[in-house]
Chains A and B, each alone.
Chain A
Amino acid sequence: MEHSLILFHDNRQIFTSDEHWLYPLFELEAYLNSSVIPVGELFLRDKIAGKAAAALIARLGIRSCHIELLSERAIPIFEQYGVQYGYDQLVDHIQCRTEDLITDKMSMEDTYLFLRKRAGKVQGTTLTIDSLTVEISGKRILADLCLEIGRGEQLIIQGENGSGKTTLLRSILGLDKALKGSIKIGEEFVGSSEWLRNRVQTGYLNQESIRNNFPITASEVVAIGVSGIKISDSERDYHVELSMRKTGCFHLQHQMFHQLSGGEKQRVSLARCLCQNARLLLLDEPTSYLDEKGKDELGELLYDLSRNEAPTMLLVSHDAFWTEKLNWHRKTLKAGKLW
C-alpha cells in the first residue's frame, strides 16, 4: 500500500494520507467533517491499527476496514461498535505507548479526548513552572513553586484566602514579576519577547470583571478578546458570535454586562477567552459571586469546554464543595508551595 491510509467510497479512492501514527485518522476526521458522504458506506484501508486507531475508526462511524498489521487489542473495540475488519497480519500488541495508556475503564469519549490531547489536537498548551518565587511588598508569597500541566489538562488549586493563589495566576499572566524561577507557556518563557507577541494565548477570568459597572454590552466584552489584533470588523463580529454561541450567551449580546447575573457574566467572560483563542485559561475564584444555579451552569460550561476546545485550564478557588464536583486534578497551595 503506497499510502498509510486510503478511504474508498463505491470502490473509488476518495481520500489518502501519508502521515504517521494517528494523524491520518485525525486528517480523515477533518475531511469527513467537511464532506456529506454517508460514513456507513465507506471502506478504510490502514497500515497499522491498535486500540487507539480502532477507537478513532469506530468513533468516526466507519463500518468496514482492512488493516495490514492489526493488534489483537483492537478487535474488542471493533466488535463492540460493529466494525467489520480484515487484516494481513495479527499481532498480540503493537509497539506504541499510547496503546498501553488506554485503559478499559475509559469511555469512548474519554479515549477520544485523551488521543486528541496526545496528538496535540486540542486548543490547550503546556504550562511549566520552575522554582517560582514571588514577593509582594517584601513578603514572600510563593517560594520555589514548581508545577507542570499538560496540553488540554485541567487543574484546581485550592488554598486559604491570602495563600497566594491569585499571585500565582498573576505571575503566570506576567502581571506580577517573579523574584526567581521561570514560567513557560508552550515554548515561550513569560516575559520574553515571543511571549509578549503571543500574550493572547493566555485568557484570564478575574474577580474584578464581575463587579465591573462600565456601560458596555456583553458582545463588546467578548470583542475585547480580539482587541489586541488587527482584524476587520466583520471578522471581529464573526469571532464574537462564534464564541458567544459556544458558551450559550449569544442571546445576551445586546444586554449591558453589569446588568447580567453572575452566571451570565461568567459565560460572557469565558466567551471572551474563547474569542481570543486562549490556549491556557486561568480562572480566579470564578464562583465568588455566583448562586447555586450559577455555579452549576459554570460547572457544565467548564465541562463542555474541557471536552471540546480543551484549553489547558488552571482554576484557583477556595470553594471546595464546588471544585469537588468538577472532578479535576487538585493541588493545595500552602506556605508558598503546592502540595
Chain B
Amino acid sequence: MVELFTYPPILKGFIVLILTGFAFPITGVYLLRMNLLPLRFMLMHGAILGGALSLAMQVNPFVGTMAINLLLVLLMTRMSRSLKTDPGQLSAFFMVVSISLAFIFIYRFQVPAKDTLSLMWGSLYTLNNFEFAGILVFSLLLIVFQGVYRHQLRAVFFDSDIAKTSGVNEPAFYYAIILITAVTVAAAMKLIGALLLDALLLLPALIASYHAKSYRGMILWSSFWGGLFATVGFLLSLALELPASSTIAAFASVVFLILILSRKK
C-alpha cells in the first residue's frame, strides 16, 4: 500500500485530507454552536449554482463555487441581521433561489447537468496545484484563527449579548464564522462531496459535544476525531480499494454509532 503514496495525486490527496481532517471539525463546532446547520444545505445548493455558472463561463468550478457561497452567506447574514430574521428561514429561501438559478443557467447555456451535479461527489485525487495550496493555506489559517481568537470565540458561542458586553466585537466574529463556514463547505465538497461532507464537519463535533467538558476540550476532541476519521478512512479506502470519501464517512458513522450506543448504556 505504501507504494501508492508515490503517486502524486494520492500523496496530495492524503496530505490535504489529513490537514483538513484536523482543521474542518473546528467549523463543525461553529456550526453546531451557532445553530447554523441549515446553512450547509444553502451552501450545497449554492455550489450547484456556482458550478453551473463556472461551467457556463468556462472558469474553474472550485473558484466559482467558492465565490457564490461567499456571496450567499454575506447576503444571508446581512439580511438576517438587518431584518432580524432567523438565518434558517433565509437559508431555505436562498437554497431555493440558488437551485432555480442553477437550472436556468444549465438550460440557457446548455451546461451538461451531469457535469454540474458531479461537483456534488467530490474528487480528492483531481486537485490541481492551486486547489491543493488553497485548501492547505485555508486549513492552516482556520487553525490559527481558532488559536488566536479562542477567547473571543468562546464568548460569542456562550452568549452573543454577554460577548458584546464583555467588549468582544461580536458582529465581526459572526461574519468571520459565517465566511469560514462558506469556504469550509466549498472545500469539503471538493474533497469528499456535498453529501458526505458532514463526516468531516459535523460528526467529529457532534461526538466531541457528547464527552467534552469544556470549550477547549470541544475544539481539541473535534479536531482529534476529524483527524482520526480522515486518516483511518483514507488508509482503509486504499487497503480495501474503496472510494476515499465514502470510506471516511462510513468509518465516521460506525464510530459515531458505537459511541452513541455505549453512551446510552
Q: How far is the CA of A203 from the CA of B164 in the complex (A)?
A: 10
Question: Which residues A207-245 have CB closer than 8 A to chain B?
Answer: 208-209, 212, 214-217, 220-221, 223-229, 236
Q: A212-B159, A214-B158 are in contact. List 7 more A-B contacts (CB 8 A).
A: A173-B164, A175-B161, A175-B165, A199-B164, A206-B161, A215-B218, A256-B214
**B204-219 to A contact mask, C-beta < 8 Å, 1/0:** 0000010011111110
Q: How far is the CA of A226 from the CA of B33 in the complex (A)?
A: 21
Residues on A facing B (Cβ under 8 Å) = 170, 173-175, 199-200, 202-204, 206, 208-209, 212, 214-217, 220-221, 223-229, 236, 254, 256, 272, 276
The reply to whether A224 and B213 contact each other, CB–CB distance below 8 Å, is: no
B163, CB-defined interface residue at 8 Å: yes
Q: Give the contacting residue for B161; candidates A173, A214, A225; CB below 8 A.
A: A173
The reply to whether A203 and B165 contact each other, CB–CB distance below 8 Å, is: yes
B81, CB-defined interface residue at 8 Å: no
Q: How far is the CB of A274 from chain B (nearest CB, A)?
A: 12
The reply to whether A227 and B215 contact each other, CB–CB distance below 8 Å, is: no
**B179-214 to A contact mask, C-beta < 8 Å, 1/0:** 000000000000000000000000000000100111
B100, CB-defined interface residue at 8 Å: no
Q: Who on chain A is nearest to B169 by CB?
A: A228
Q: Who on chain A is nearest to B209 by CB?
A: A215
Number of chain B residues close to chain A: CB under 8 A: 24
Q: Could you write out 9 A-B pairs with CB less than 8 Å apart?
A: A206-B162, A208-B161, A215-B217, A216-B154, A216-B215, A220-B216, A236-B151, A276-B166, A276-B167
Q: Which residues from A are CB-within-8-Å of B164?
A: 173-175, 199
Shortest beta-carbon contacts, A-B, top 6:
A228-B167, A227-B151, A227-B155, A200-B167, A217-B214, A224-B155
The reply to whether A208 and B159 contact each other, CB–CB distance below 8 Å, is: yes
Q: Which residues from B are CB-within-8-Å of A170?
A: 161
Q: Which residues from B are CB-within-8-Å of A276?
A: 166-167
The reply to whether A215 and B167 contact each other, CB–CB distance below 8 Å, is: no
Q: How far is the CA of A209 from the CA of B163 in the complex (A)?
A: 11
Q: A215-B209, A215-B215, A227-B151 are in contact. Are A221 and B158 (CB under 8 A)?
A: yes
Indicate the member of B158, B212, B213, B217 with the most A CB atoms within 10 Å: B158
B10, CB-defined interface residue at 8 Å: no
Q: How far is the CA of A174 from the CA of B215 in the complex (A)?
A: 27
The reply to whether B159 and A227 contact each other, CB–CB distance below 8 Å, is: no
Q: How far is the CB of B126 from chain A (nearest CB, A)?
A: 38
Q: How far is the CB of B204 from chain A (nearest CB, A)?
A: 14
Indicate the member of B158, B166, B168 with the most A CB atoms within 10 Å: B166
B103, CB-defined interface residue at 8 Å: no
Q: A199-B167, A215-B215 are in contact. Are A220 and B161 (CB under 8 A)?
A: no
Q: How far is the CA of A55 from the CA of B235 in the complex (A)?
A: 79
Q: Give the contacting residue for B165; candidates A173, A212, A217; CB below 8 A.
A: A173
The reply to whether A214 and B215 contact each other, CB–CB distance below 8 Å, is: yes
Q: Who on chain A is nearest to B218 by CB?
A: A215
Q: How far is the CA of A268 from the CA of B155 in the complex (A)?
A: 14
Q: Give the contacting residue for A228; candidates B161, B168, B212, B214; CB below 8 A.
A: B168
Q: Which residues from B are CB-within-8-Å of A206?
A: 159, 161-162
Q: How far is the CA of A272 from the CA of B163 in the complex (A)?
A: 11
The reply to whether A227 and B161 contact each other, CB–CB distance below 8 Å, is: no
Q: Which residues from A are CB-within-8-Å of B151?
A: 223-224, 226-227, 236
The reply to whether B215 and A204 contact each other, CB–CB distance below 8 Å, is: no
The reply to whether A200 and B165 contact each other, CB–CB distance below 8 Å, is: yes
The reply to whether B166 and A224 contact each other, CB–CB distance below 8 Å, is: yes
Q: How far is the CB of B9 from chain A (nearest CB, A)?
A: 39
Q: How far is the CB of B246 from chain A (nearest CB, A)?
A: 30
Q: A220-B154, A224-B166 are in contact. Are A215 and B212 (CB under 8 A)?
A: yes
Q: How far is the CA of A199 from the CA of B169 in the complex (A)?
A: 11
Q: How far is the CA of A209 from the CA of B168 in the complex (A)?
A: 17
Q: Which residues from B are CB-within-8-Å of A224?
A: 151, 154-155, 158, 162-163, 166
The reply to whether B159 and A200 contact each other, CB–CB distance below 8 Å, is: no
Q: How far is the CA of A199 from the CA of B164 in the complex (A)?
A: 8
Q: How far is the CB of A33 from chain B (nearest CB, A)?
A: 30
Q: Who on chain A is nearest to B216 by CB?
A: A220
Q: Who on chain A is nearest to B33 by CB?
A: A214
B157, CB-defined interface residue at 8 Å: yes
Q: Which residues from A are CB-within-8-Å of B159?
A: 206, 208-209, 212
Q: Who on chain A is nearest to B153 by CB?
A: A227
The reply to whether A227 and B165 contact each other, CB–CB distance below 8 Å, is: no
Q: A208-B159, A212-B159 are in contact. Are A200 and B166 (CB under 8 A)?
A: yes
Q: How far is the CA of A175 from the CA of B171 in the complex (A)?
A: 12
Q: Which residues from A are CB-within-8-Å of B154?
A: 216, 220, 223-224, 227
Q: Who on chain A is nearest to B150 by CB?
A: A227
**B130-154 to A contact mask, C-beta < 8 Å, 1/0:** 0000000000000000000001101
